[in-house]
Amino acid sequence: MSSERMTAEIWKVSLHGGHSGDFCLHGGDTLEEMLEAAVEFGYATFGVTAHSPRTDAKFLYPEEIEASYSPADLDRDFTNYVSTCRELATKFEDRLEVLVGAEIEIVPELGYVEEVTSLRRRHKLDYIVGSVHWVDELPIDVTRELFDEAVENRDGLEPFLVRYFNLVEQMVSDLRPEVVGHIDRPRLYTGDAPEFDSVPVLDAIDAALEACLKADSILDLNVSAIRKELEHPYPAPKILEKAKELGIPFCFGDDSHRTSAVGENIAVGRRYLLDHGITSITKLTKLDGSTAKQQMFL
């Protein structure tokens, strides 16, 4: 084992990110360049979680439509991602533990469970990150305009947030993902809106967290929120504290889409956890051919 791998700090782990430009049209830099950046930052483990392909053209993102992509193109790119990532994991194994995962999509609402289950089995993924990027099959984190359309479709922010967290709860219950991604993602466009403190929304948040506990999922302490000029990482303090009370573990996610974001604000996330009395994270690692959990102290 090289000295670079041995001097990596064990708490420097990201389980959500590595969305490289060669397999994600809104990413930048190659996957190999992303992994070199992860080594340079001092990561001990870097989970790569390419976006799962969507099988219906109505769920293509704007940049994919502009590039004349089809669902078949997305499936091809994901297959190439898995094989490339596995090759690179071997190449980097003396310097960095690389996990091969996917960040899933919950569309179509009536078919995503079967699709994700098939994708996971077909590609023998190390793990998945369960994220909600769509509400009522409308995209919520592409532009503010599209987000507002999804809110209007639910007749206001409060019912929208209830629906969002209900979808998180359902996704976690159905898929039992190892990691739950940026659980309060709507903050990207709402900030800490007062609707987050309404009784119906708090009840929906509690139900989603209870589902995470039952599924034995890890919560993504996602520091991309800082890059996007939010005050706190995902999740916000009240959700963080509730998860802490329930005993739900956390791990970092840099949600990197280019080399400049690899490791960015992870130290901020560490301080955020420590300030709230959380002194450890839970990482995933390969052990005897399977993916296992390990607790790492901060």
Mean pLDDT of 85-91: 98
Tell me the pLDDT band of 6, cut-offs 50, 70 and 90. very low
pLDDT (tens digit, 9 = 90+) per residue, 249-291? 999 999 999 999 999 999 999 999 999 999 999 999 999 989 9
Mean pLDDT of 82-99: 98
By CB atoms closer than 10 A (0-12, 13-18, 19+), residue 230 is middle
Q: So what's the pLDDT on residue 289?
A: 87
CATH number at residue 153: 3.20.20.140
Mean pLDDT of 84-107: 97
Smallest CA-to-CA distance from 266 within 4, 5, 12, 9 is with 12
Give the number of domains in the chain: 1
Q: So what's the pLDDT on residue 8?
A: 63
Mean pLDDT of 165-171: 98
Length of the chain: 298
Q: Does residue 1 surpass a pLDDT of 70?
A: no
Torsion, Cα of 243, 246, 252, 256 (10° steps): -50
pLDDT (tens digit, 9 = 90+) per residue, 169-220? 999 999 999 999 999 999 999 999 999 999 999 999 999 999 999 999 999 9
Indicate the average pLDDT of the chain. Answer: 96
Q: Does residue 51 surpass a pLDDT of 80?
A: yes
The DSSP output letter for 234 is B
pLDDT (tens digit, 9 = 90+) per residue, 246-255? 999 999 999 9
Q: So what's the pLDDT on residue 263?
A: 97
Q: Does residue 97 surpass a pLDDT of 90?
A: yes
Question: Could you identify the residue written with the tokens 């159905």?
Answer: 174
Judge whether 209 and 245 are in contact, CB under 8 Å: no
The DSSP output letter for 233 is P
Instruction: Round to whole Å and give the CA distance between 169 and 204.
Output: 8
- Percent of the chain beyond pLDDT 70? 97
Range of 228's domain?
A: 3-297
Instruction: Round to whole Å and give the CA distance between 42 and 11.
Output: 10
